[in-house]
């Protein structure tokens, strides 16, 4: 790997949804910067493969921990595992996310529940599982991956927009709770990034999104990962409760 852009020596970082897409790009930057990395996703095989590839490229300890972030008990077990295996957790990136797009009049209750449970409750579950470890260490960086949909709303995404807006509230509330303990809590809000999540968007919608993006292009997972890595770095020590847009100018607050 090339020269690290951010330094994470001796840090332990957990990335939910780290098996592919934006989460994987962030996990790569952490490992490249010298951190041990825990990759969480439901799919065991993909998480293990990604962990092995990042470990081989970086020479760092990178492990897969397959679970469903929506499952409270599983995330509590994960917290115990991290305490026993590493004794610390410096960085938590709540990046796991799903979409189940449909107009409200056609959206099922299941689609609402699934999206809220994974995107919003999943972030709360994971923060709750590790916050004591961070508080004891009087150090922590939590980065929540929200979306322009949570800031501006997106048609066909009442579930996803609500979950992502909820993550912004969670970010700000938790930032206030733990600021005095050396823990920062911030969010990044990506615009349109080509990944598995957006692969099935209709071409017409993609054109509309690009037309609404001043830079007129999609972003890359790496461009989002750089913002995550910055907020997760020691150097971002006086930034908390913020939402950093990585969206080519789509939402300007
Ligand atoms: P991908 O679909 O490529 O990756 C999603 C990751 O989350 C996978 O690793 C997936 O693994 C994991 N995941 C999904 N559900 C769960 C779950 N219940 N428990 C644990 N892991 C889970 O998507 P992106 O990389 O595009 O998305 C990453 C984040 O960025 C999401 O929160 C998304 O909402 C957000 N975002 C993405 C944008 C985009 O344009 N791509 C724009 C704005 C925000 P598995 O399926 O094996 O569980």
For 73-117, write each residue's pLDDT tens digit: 999 999 999 999 999 999 999 999 999 999 999 999 999 999 999
Cβ–ligand 1 contact at 24 (below 6 Å)? no
**213 CB within 6 A, ligand 1:** no
Is residue 1 over pLDDT 80?
Answer: no
Flag whether pLDDT at 10 surpasses 90: yes
- Residue keyed to tokens 């994987």: 24
Residue 192 bears catalytic tag: no
By most ligand atoms within 8 Å of CB, the mutation choice from 15, 18, 22, 54 for ligand 1 is 22
Asked if 223 and 246 count as a contact pair (C-beta separation under 8 A), the reply is yes
Long-range contact list for 203-211, CB < 8 A, 24+ apart? 209/250
Which residues, including other chains, have CB under 8 Å from residue 187's CB and lie 6 or more apart? 143, 144, 145, 146, 167, 168, 171, 242, 243, 244
Q: Is the CB of 150 under 6 A from ligand 1?
A: no
What per-residue confidence (pLDDT) applies to 229? 98
Q: Which atom of ligand 1 is nearest to the CA of 21?
A: 25
Taking every pair of C-alpha atoms in the chain, what is the biggest distance, in angstroms?
A: 51
Predicted pLDDT at 158: 98
Task: Give pLDDT, residue 4.
Answer: 79
The string of pLDDT tens digits covering residues 20-65 is 999 999 999 999 999 999 999 999 999 999 999 999 999 999 999 9
The model's pLDDT over 174-229, given as tens digits with 9 standing for 90+, comes to 999 999 999 999 999 999 999 999 999 999 999 999 999 999 999 999 999 999 99
State mean pLDDT over 135-163.
Answer: 98
């Amino acid at each position: 790997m090339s020269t690290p852009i951010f330094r994470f020596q001796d840090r332990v970082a957990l990335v939910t949804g780290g098996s592919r897409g934006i989460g994987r790009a962030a996990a790569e930057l952490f490992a490249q910067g010298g951190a041990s990395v825990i990759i969480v996703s439901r799919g065991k095989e993909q998480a293990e493969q990604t962990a092995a590839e990042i470990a081989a490229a970086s020479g760092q300890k990178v492990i897969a921990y397959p679970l469903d972030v929506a499952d409270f008990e599983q995330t509590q077990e994960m917290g115990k595992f991290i305490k026993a295996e590493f004794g610390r957790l410096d960085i938590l990136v709540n990046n796991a996310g799903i979409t189940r797009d449909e107009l409200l009049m056609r959206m099922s209750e299941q689609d609402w529940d699934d999206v809220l449970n994974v995107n919003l409750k999943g972030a709360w579950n994971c923060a709750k599982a590790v916050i004591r470890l961070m508080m004891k260490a009087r150090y922590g960086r939590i980065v929540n991956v929200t979306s322009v949909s949570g800031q501006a709303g997106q048609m066909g995404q009442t579930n996803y927009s609500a979950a992502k807006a909820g993550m912004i509230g969670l970010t700000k509330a938790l930032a206030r709770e733990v600021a005095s303990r050396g823990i920062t809590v911030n969010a990044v809000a990506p615009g349109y990034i080509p990944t598995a999540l957006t692969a099935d968007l209709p071409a017409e919608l993609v054109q509309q999104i690009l037309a609404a993006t001043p830079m007129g292009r999609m972003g890359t997972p790496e461009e989002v990962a750089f913002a995550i890595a910055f907020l997760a770095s020691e150097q971002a020590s006086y930034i908390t409760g913020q939402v950093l847009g990585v969206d080519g100018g789509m939402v300007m607050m």
